[in-house]
Amino acid sequence: MTGVAPQVNAFLLCDQAFQQMPTGKWCVIGTFGVIFAREFPVTYAPFTVYVCLSDFTGDAMVQVTIRDASGGVVRAVRGQIPRIPMSILEFAFPFPPIEFKTAGSYTLELIVADQFLAARSFRVDQMPANQGPPPGFGVPPGAHPAPPEHDEPPGA
């Protein structure tokens, strides 16, 4: 790895991420920031972390760590990235089933070549009994549906 720190273009929690053949494009399926559980402890799977780095030439150990609210390590995965001929790299770390003992805030940390690059938080919350996700779940604040498109100009 060069002396310049890689830039984090994406650091996402998702159900799955895979490279499409033959295009090489990445498909990131089921992104989320909250895991809902009916009871605790809960074991959650699948769990994948998708990462996209720029200004990165590889030849480095990459580690993704999940920490609980007290900073304790819940699980970590890592892999050696070989030298690559380009400066942008996308990859995914599939995690094994993970047991979350309690509801609360958790943190993902991204470390490349022993250098901290990014952190992001996510939550594990108790789902209310006999209820789905909270109202407005997944709808950005202030989002409004787009007006319908018309084939004819107004007043025609």
pLDDT band at 153 (very low <50, low <70, confident <90, very high): very low
pLDDT at 5: 86
Residue 19's CB is within 10 A of a number of other CB atoms, namely 12
DSSP secondary structure of 61-95:
EEEEEEE-TTS-EEEEEEEEEPP-SSSEEEEEEEE
- The token duo for 114 is 């022993």
What mean pLDDT do residues 141-146 have? Answer: 53
Domain ranges (residues) in the chain: 7-126
Q: Which has the minimum average pLDDT: 13-17, 43-47, 99-103, 143-147? A: 143-147
What mean pLDDT do residues 55-80 have? Answer: 95
Fold of 7-126: Immunoglobulin-like (2.60.40)
